[in-house]
Each structure stands twice: as structure tokens, then as C-alpha cells.
């Protein structure tokens, strides 16, 4: 059995659990092909960015379980997981990935709604009378 690299990527509320093995570049997300799971070209590009940057396209098979969030958050969570896995496999790849910011977990989350407000910061409409 080939060496399996297991990493985790997060973005907003999306969590991507990734299993990477040496292979021929297949990306399976929640049991579906990448083209089926992310029909949008932009999201496919986001997922493949770490491979393109490190010139490792077609050298690893990726199996991802992704949960929560929207499609953009999921794509970015997968990107972080792939970057972490590549860095784990070959530490030489760390500087280019770090320079592009692919190893940084984006900490921005939705702010919680506060009592006495309509949203997190939006107040109720003021009524003079």
C-alpha cells in the first residue's frame, strides 16, 4: 500500500479531511469527480492551485471528505488541506506555498448576532415616535 498523507483544511465553517497518495492526479471529493462536485471552473482552479504552483499536477491522487460551509469555503478548505499535505510530503515545497499564502488558515468567521440588534452590528430601525 502506498504512503497515505492525511491532512485537515478549514475555511469559515467548511472542514476538509484529505487523504493523498502517489498516483495519476485523480481528485475525488465526497465520492464524486472534481468536475462534477465543482462545475465552476474558478473553484476547480482554486483546488488545483497548490499543484500548479509546485508543478506536481498529475502526481498525486486526492480523496477528500468535505463538510459544512458553502462551495467557495469548501474549495478554499480543500486548497489548504492539499497545501499542507504537499508540505508534509516534501518540505522543499514549503517556501513557495507559504509565499502564496496557501498555508495560512483564513481566520475570518461570521460574527455572531447580538441581543438587541437585528444582526451582528445592524441596529433595529429607529422610530422617533
pLDDT tens readout for residues 106-126: 999 999 999 999 999 999 999
For β-strands 27-29 and 60-67, DSSP reports them as parallel
Buried b / exposed e along 23-40 (16+ C-beta atoms within 10 A): eeeebbbeeeebeebbee
Query: Treating both helix axes as pointing N-terminal to C-terminal, what angle do 71-89 and 41-54 enclose, rounded to 10 degrees?
Result: 10
Closest CA to 7 of 16, 121, 91: 16
Mean pLDDT for the chain? 93
pLDDT digits (tens, 9 = 90+) for 69-104: 999 999 999 999 999 999 999 889 999 999 999 999
Residue 20 has pLDDT above 70, yes or no: yes
Q: How confident is the model at residue 11 (pLDDT cuts 50, 70, 90)?
A: very high
Residue 1 has pLDDT above 60, yes or no: no
Residue 128 has pLDDT above 70, yes or no: yes
Q: How confident is the model at residue 3 (pLDDT cuts 50, 70, 90)?
A: confident
What proportions of the chain, in percent to the nearest 5, are helix, strand and coil? 35, 20, 40
Residue 2 has pLDDT above 70, yes or no: no
Percent of the chain with pLDDT over 70: 98
Amino acid at each position: 500500500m502506498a504512503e497515505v498523507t492525511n491532512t485537515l483544511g478549514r475555511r469559515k465553517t467548511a472542514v476538509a479531511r484529505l487523504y493523498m497518495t502517489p498516483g495519476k492526479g485523480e481528485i475525488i471529493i465526497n465520492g464524486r469527480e472534481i468536475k462534477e462536485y465543482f462545475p465552476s471552473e474558478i473553484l476547480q482552479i482554486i483546488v488545483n492551485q497548490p499543484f500548479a504552483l509546485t508543478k506536481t499536477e498529475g502526481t498525486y491522487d486526492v480523496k477528500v471528505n468535505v463538510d459544512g460551509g458553502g462551495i467557495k469555503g469548501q474549495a478554499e478548505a480543500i486548497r489548504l488541506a492539499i497545501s499542507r499535505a504537499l508540505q508534509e510530503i516534501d518540505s522543499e515545497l514549503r517556501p513557495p506555498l507559504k509565499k502564496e499564502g496557501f498555508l495560512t488558515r483564513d481566520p475570518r468567521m461570521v460574527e455572531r448576532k447580538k441581543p438587541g440588534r437585528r444582526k451582528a452590528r445592524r441596529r433595529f430601525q429607529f422610530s422617533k415616535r
